[in-house]
Amino acid sequence: MPPIVHPSTGNSTAMSPQSSAERWARFLEEHAPGLTWLAATLLEWSELPPGARRAWTVTIQAARSGEVSSLVAMQEETGVLAVAAMPDAPPPLFGEPSRVRRALGAPETLEALVAQVPELLLRRGPGVRRSVFVYDGEPRRRYPSVRRAAVTAVDALERFRARAGGEWMSMTAGDLLGPVNQGHVFELVRENETAGMFRVEAIAARRVQVADVCIDPDLRGRGLGRALLESAAAVARSEYARGCVVAVPAEEVAERTARGAGFVAAGTIEDLEFA
């Protein structure tokens, strides 16, 4: 099902799915880097034939210049809602709030959304906040012990990720078989054992979003987190010719590790659940 676009101002001009998606992706990468995975999803969507497109409904508000000022994207099947807005721009209204099961966006944007939809306020559950960091600098050094994961390692990596707590930090958590087959999973090997890992979650026009960044709990505090993030930035530059974005726990240690790897703070993203 193609997206439904509702510009709030000006005259509506027919646009191809690809040109619309490119405009939405530019807005997300500029104003909501923590939603780079959504920018990549919309770009992929635009290249598919109509019958193969996933059911995303996109609602935007646009300024008189035609530039997007806020955006809401709803994944109909899962009930995932992603929200982004420029400062002081209200999130656009959307239909069927009863279908929302999860919402992602900057805390202040989600608060504005919930405030204007009473049903969401009543159903609001717990949330998790992550700090967003970006790397747009010169290529970093990829550590020799960081290598692309082999397909034969999928089961071991699944167990490692569960033990190391990586999956909960992902926006698009799922099994690792597909990403490993695509060459998007990297592991840090120490004494022939997995000591850490990260996954290329999405590839947008400007940046690569990295997820499942996790270290063996018994090896934390030894600089391996910094080595992983520096390697992720190196992979983004060398293999995708793009910058890198990562969302880490909103905790001092994780934020200090990201800064030490050369990443720059780019806001906060909240992940809310709804009953």
User: Other C-beta atoms within 10 Å of 19: how many?
Assistant: 12
Query: Which of 116, 150, 178 is at the close of a domain?
Result: 116
User: Other C-beta atoms within 10 Å of 26: how many?
Assistant: 16
Residues 57 and 153 in one domain: no
Q: Indicate whether 10 belongs to any domain.
A: no
d(CA 35, CA 48): 21
Residues 195 and 230 in one domain: yes
Residues 184 and 246 in one domain: yes
Read off the pLDDT of residues 49-74 as tens digits, 9 standing for 90 and up.
666 555 678 888 887 777 899 999 98
Residues 149 and 209 in one domain: yes
Q: Indicate whether 42 belongs to any domain.
A: yes
d(CA 31, CA 84): 7
Q: Indicate whether 251 belongs to any domain.
A: yes
Residues 148 and 110 in one domain: no
Q: How far apart are the first and last CA of the chain?
A: 26
Q: Indicate whether 274 belongs to any domain.
A: no
Q: Indicate whether 1 belongs to any domain.
A: no
Instruction: Write out the residue range of the structural domain in which residue 245 sits.
Output: 135-267
d(CA 249, CA 214): 11
Residues 166 and 235 in one domain: yes
Q: Indicate whether 242 belongs to any domain.
A: yes
Q: Does 157 or 4 have the greater pLDDT score? A: 157
Read off the pLDDT of residues 201-215 as tens digits, 9 standing for 90 and up.
999 999 999 999 999
d(CA 35, CA 189): 29
Query: Over pLDDT 70: what percentage of the chain?
Result: 87
User: How would you classify residue 116: left for phi > 0, otherwise alpha for psi between -120 and 50, otherwise beta?
Assistant: alpha
Instruction: Check which CATH number belongs to the domain holding 159 and give it.
Output: 3.40.630.30
Q: State the DSSP string of 22-50.
A: HHHHHHHHHH-GGGHHHHHHHHHHHTS-G
Q: What mean pLDDT comes out for the span 236-251?
A: 92
Cα–Cα–Cα angle for 246, 193, 179, nearest 5°? 45
Q: Indicate whether 4 belongs to any domain.
A: no
Q: What is the pLDDT of residue 170?
A: 55
- Put simply, whether the predicted model's pTM sits higher than 0.75 gets the answer yes
Residues 195 and 257 in one domain: yes
Place 228 in a pLDDT band, splitting at 50, 70 and 90.
very high
Q: Does 17 or 107 have the greater pLDDT score? A: 107
Q: What is the pLDDT of residue 144?
A: 92
Residues 151 and 87 in one domain: no
Total tally of structural domains belonging to the chain: 2
Q: What is the pLDDT of residue 92?
A: 83
Residues 249 and 155 in one domain: yes
Q: What is the pLDDT of residue 3?
A: 37
d(CA 117, CA 35): 22
Read off the pLDDT of residues 5-21 as tens digits, 9 standing for 90 and up.
433 333 333 345 567 88
Q: State the DSSP string of 59-91.
A: EEEE-TTS-EEEEEEEETTTTEEEEEE-TTPPP
User: How would you classify residue 66: left for phi > 0, otherwise alpha for psi between -120 and 50, otherwise beta?
Assistant: left
Q: Indicate whether 166 belongs to any domain.
A: yes
Residues 23 and 96 in one domain: yes
CB-based contacts of 236-239 (< 8 A; 24+ apart in sequence): 236/135, 236/200, 236/207, 236/208, 236/210, 237/139, 237/140, 238/139, 238/142
